[in-house]
Structure formats: C-alpha cells, structure tokens
Amino acid sequence: MRIQSIGSSGLALGGLALLASSCATLSSIERTAASVVVSDDQEAQLGLQVKSELETKQNVKYCGDPQVTEYVRGVAGKVLALAEKDRPAVKWQVNVIDDPGTVNAFATPGGYLYVYTGLLLLADNEAQLAGVMGHEAGHVVARHSAQQMVDQFGLDAVAQLALGKNPGVLGQLGKTVVQKGAMLAHSRAHEDEADEYGARYSSAAGYDPHALSGFFTKLKAKVGDTNTLTTWLSDHPATSSRITHINSYAQQNGLNGKDLGADRFVAIRARVAALPPSSGVSNAPAPRPAAPANSPPN
Ligand code: ZN
C-alpha cells in the first residue's frame, strides 16, 4: 500500500524515495513479524531467563538500599503507567544494579528495566531519570528486542521458540543475549524511536520532556565523543543530532511538562553516593506495586 502510493504520486523522486519507502515498509514488516512470532509470554520468559543469567553468571548485584530502589520504581511507575496503555500485557519490573562506576540503563524483553547506580550519580534530576526510564520502556513497547532477536538469531530459531518445538532455544537465546550484550545494541533508528517514547511518556507524567536531551548533554560533557567507555553513551550514542531530534520532537508535538523533581532526586542521589562499596545484594528486592508512584522519598 505504501509503496503504491509513493509510486503513483512521487515517480519523479525516483529510486531514492522508493528506497526510503522500502526501508520504512521493511521496518514495519519486521515489527509485525516479531510481534506475531514472539508472543508476550515468550518475551516474558526470555526476560526472566536473561535476569537469571545476569544474577547467576554475570554476578550482578542489586542496590541494597530499599529507599533508593523504591524511589526509582516510583519514578519509573509514573512513566510505565503510560507504557502500560500501549502494551497492557507486559508485567514491568524495575531493578537498580549496584555499580557506581557504570553509567547505564537497559531493557530486556518482557518489560524488565535495569538502571545502574552510576547513572543515578550522574543525573541532575528526577525528570532525567524519568526520560531514561521512558526511553527504555519505549524499546519494550516498540518490541525492539523482539525484532533484534529475529535479526540476530534468525526467524527459524525464534519461530521454534514461539511454537514450543525446541524448549532449549529459550535458554540458548537468554544466554547469548547476555553474553553478547545483545539487548543493548539497538540500531540508531530504534534509539531515535525510543527517545521519542522517552520524551512523550515523561512529558505525559508531568516531567519536562527536554530533560532526556539534557541528560545526553551531560553525558557528552563527561565522556566527550569517544564511545570507548562502558556507559549508556556507548550503547546509546549521544550525538548532537540525537539531542536536536528529541528537542524538535518535543516542540513539534507540543509536549509540555515542567516538573524537574530536582530536590527529590538530589536527596536520593546523596543516599547512593553514601552507600558503602560492595553493599549490593544478590537478589532484587520484590517489587511493591502498591507503593504510590508520586510519594516523596522518606
Ligand atoms: Zn536505547
């Protein structure tokens, strides 16, 4: 349909327009294929498998301060209230990884969001954290991970998983995802799309949508243009064009929201900074979904 309409109205544009159209069409086909092939249940199973790999093989430790974890979950909860409308079947789970030296956050299939204490230490305010959480939620809502699975492991392996023909595939995929860090390596197009989710969700939750680009600016100032560090920047390159994209997207779509939540955030950041080294715990604290999303930390 799309190719036909371009072809009938834009012949003079020649192959370039057709090529661009083909790319867009291919992307939507991939997404549709991924959503058909990888069910919500399969994504949830894979997310659980990755979590288990992280905890047992990668020896990931979670933040041992319940107040910090609950605070992050509360901020994420405001954003996820919007994401839930877009993907109601996802059971979101937010965990804080105890690693002050790593500025990172990532999402896996099934709605598992992870944020490192190093990111909390670098951020300026709650709105930046909300933007990052919205970005990661966007990867899940848009099924980017499922698309990557299809891209990287092939439709056959993922289809086998979906059909239940080869239960071992699930374990293999989870292992490979962790080993390759595959859940981190999103394409530039996926990053731009996730940025739009981040700006939109955080704005709808009352936050300043420009905070996400503000966080990128901060990252750039910290590590420059090198992508050699293991930071959110290396997996989510914070180019100037990306910062511009977020700001123009917010303007074009009339996104508003003023809340920065700097005071609330600074208090929590101080707690993170005061945590003793190696104070992380092996098991993620159980989520407390009943906690009010907007209650101030105490
Ligand atoms: Zn991303």
- Residue 38 near residue 255, CB atoms below 8 Å: no
Give me ligand 1 centre to Cα 277, in Å.
Answer: 28
Q: In 90-112, which positions are buried (b, 16+ CB within 10 angstroms) versus exposed (e)?
A: bebbbbbbbbbebbbbbbbbbbb
Task: Give pLDDT tens digits for 248-257.
Answer: 999 999 999 9
- Residue 201 near residue 137, CB atoms below 8 Å: yes
Taking residue 226's Cβ as centre, other Cβ atoms within 10 Å add up to: 9
Tell me how many domains the chain contains.
1
Q: Which residues pair with 116 in a beta bridge?
A: 97
Give me ligand 1 centre to Cα 106, in Å.
Answer: 7
- Residue 217 near residue 122, CB atoms below 8 Å: no
CA 234, 236, 241, 243 dihedral sign is negative
Give me ligand 1 centre to Cα 135, in Å.
Answer: 6
Give me ligand 1 centre to Cα 101, in Å.
Answer: 19
User: What value does the mean pLDDT of the chain take?
Assistant: 78
DSSP state of 226: -
List of residues 6+ apart from 25 with CB closer than 8 A = 2, 3
Task: Give pLDDT tens digits for 125-147.
Answer: 999 999 999 999 999 999 887 77
Domain extent, residue 251, equals 2-274
Predicted pLDDT of residue 38:
76
Q: 156 or 198: whose pLDDT is higher? A: 198
Task: For the chain, state the CA radius of gyration.
Answer: 20
Q: Indicate whether 295 belongs to any domain.
A: no
Q: Indicate whether 286 belongs to any domain.
A: no
Task: Give pLDDT tens digits for 168-184.
Answer: 766 777 777 666 654 55
Q: Indicate whether 66 belongs to any domain.
A: yes
Q: Indicate whether 61 belongs to any domain.
A: yes
- Decide: pTM greater than 0.85: no
Q: Indicate whether 136 belongs to any domain.
A: yes
Predicted pLDDT of residue 228:
40
Q: Indicate whether 279 belongs to any domain.
A: no
Q: Residue holding tokens 């999402």?
A: 107
- Residue 249 near residue 199, CB atoms below 8 Å: yes
Q: Residue 23, by phi and psi: left (phi above 0), alpha (psi -120 to 50) or beta?
A: alpha
Residue 19 has pLDDT above 50, yes or no: no
DSSP state of 241: H
Give me ligand 1 centre to Cα 288, in Å.
Answer: 26
Give me ligand 1 centre to Cα 8, in Å.
Answer: 36
Give me ligand 1 centre to Cα 292, in Å.
Answer: 27
d(CA 127, CA 37): 35
Determine the distance from the C-alpha atom of residue 245 to the mean position of all C-alpha atoms in its chain, rounded to a whole number: 17
User: Of the residues 136, 191, 193, 196, which is catalytic?
Assistant: 136
Give me ligand 1 centre to Cα 9, in Å.
Answer: 35
Q: Indicate whether 294 belongs to any domain.
A: no
**Average pLDDT estimate for 78-105:** 94
Q: What does the block give as tokens for 174?
A: 């989870």
Q: Indicate whether 284 belongs to any domain.
A: no
Q: Which helix (H) or strand (E) holds 195?
A: helix 188-204
Nearest to 130 by CA among 259, 243, 285, 248: 259
Q: Assess whether 43 carries a catalytic annotation.
A: no
Give me ligand 1 centre to Cα 282, in Å.
Answer: 26
